[in-house]
Structure 1
Amino acid sequence: MPKPIRSSRRTWAAAWVVLCAVGLAATAGLNASSTPDPRPEKPVSAECAEYVADIERQLAEAQQESKGDGVLAFSRVRPGTGDDCDDELRAHLRGDR
C-alpha cells in the first residue's frame, strides 16, 4: 500500500489564506458591479410641494413652542391630495433632498 503524501500545516494554512483572499476579492467585485443605478428624480407636483411646506411650517412652529419632548402627529392622507405625496414626504423627512 503506497504511503499518503504528507503536507505540512504551513502549506494547508497558506492554501486557505489564498482561497479566502480570492473569495473576498470575488465578493467585492460582484458587489461593486451589482449596484443599481440611482432612480431619476421625478418632478414634484405643486400640490405635494405645498403639502411638504405646510408640514415643515408645522414642525417649525411645534419646535418653537415646545419646552420638552413632545409628539407631533399628522394624518396619513390629506383630503384632496390622495396618496401621491407619500414618497416625496418620506424622502424629504429622511433628508434625501
Structure 2
Amino acid sequence: MEFHPERLVGPPRGWDAARVSVLSAVVFVAIYAYYALVHQHRTPFTLGLAIGMGTSGVAELLPESPRYLAAVLRLAGIGVLLALVVAVFVAPDVVFAT
C-alpha cells in the first residue's frame, strides 16, 4: 500500500471518485434514521461514519479551483473516521450505545 500525498492535496476528482463516499453516507444516514425511528435506539457509530464519508465525498464534488478546501475536507473526513476508530477502543459503550 502506497501513500500518494498528491491525491490528498490535489484537485477534486469529480463524481467518479465521490460516488462511493456520498452513497455510503446516504446509506449510513438511512440506517441511523431506521434505528432511531423504528427501534428508538440511536447508534452514534453510524452517524459518525456518515459524517466522515460525507465530508470526503463532498470534497471530491467541489469545483476544480478550491484545492485547499478539498484538502481540508478530505483531512476532516479522515480525522472523523480516525476519531471514531479511537473511540471504539477507548469507550465502546458510548460509540455503540449499549
Which has more helix, going by share of residues?
Answer: 2
Pairwise TM-score range, normalised by the shorter structure: under 0.3
Based on CA coordinates, which of the two structures has the bigger radius of gyration?
Answer: 1
**Structure having greater relative contact order (Cα 8 Å, sep ≥ 6):** 2
Task: Report the TM-score when normalising by structure 2.
Answer: 0.27
TM-score by length of 1: 0.28
